[in-house]
Amino acid sequence: MEIRFESGKPIFLQIEEHLRNYIASGRFKPDEKLPGVRELALQANVNPNTMQKALTNLEAEGLIITRGTSGKFVCGDSQIIENAKKRIIEDLAAEFREKCHLIGVSPHDVAMLLSNDHNTESEDTNE
């Protein structure tokens, strides 16, 4: 897990986002067992306390579940994962709108561009 940390944001939040994306995208599968906190911390090159903080928050969200002594698992509830995905998309859209506002273009115009891209892409191979 290589994370390029941004400067102005707490590291545990950035890890949290990363892990949430992994779960939402299916890179971490539902019901999959997660490596231990120390192992994860090592993979991300961060302090175990920081990793623990991120995991605790994801647990509060329901995306991660602790099963007794057998460790932490990705949640198996597809509804919770769908909700997380929805929130990620909403955040992305909010950021997008903000950026458009900053440079004074209409989000709609950019969206048109995106859907054109999408059309040309689908003519190519499905990679």
Partner 1 sequence: MSNILECVHLTKKYGHNIALNDVSVSIPSGKIVGLLGPNGSGKTTLIKLIAGLLVPNGGELYINGSKPGPETKAIISYLPERPYFDPSMRICEMLDFFADFYADFDMERAVKMLSDLGISQDAKMKTLSKGTKEKVQLVLVMSRRAKLYLLDEPIAGVDPAARDYIMRTILTNYGEDSTILISTHLITDIEKVLDEYIFISNGNIFRQGTVDDVRTEEGKSLDELFREVFRC
Does residue 48 interact with partner 1 by CB under 8 A?
A: yes
CB of 69 to partner 1, least distance (A): 16
E strand or H helix that includes residue 74: strand 72-74
Minimum distance, C-beta of residue 44 to partner 1, in the bound complex (Å) = 8
Report how far residue 29's alpha carbon sits from residue 22's, in angstroms, rounded to the nearest whole number.
9
Q: State the CB neighbour count (10 A cutoff) for residue 12.
A: 19
46 near partner 1, judged by CB under 8 A: yes
- Shortest distance, position 76 Cβ to partner 1, whole Å: 29
Binding mask 26-45 for partner 1 (x = CB under 8 A): ------------x--xx--x
Residue 49 touches partner 1, criterion: CB under 8 A = yes
Judged by CB under 8 A, does residue 106 bind partner 1?
A: no
Check if the beta carbon of residue 23 is closer than 8 Å to that of residue 77. Answer: no
CA 60 – CA 78 distance, rounded (Å): 16
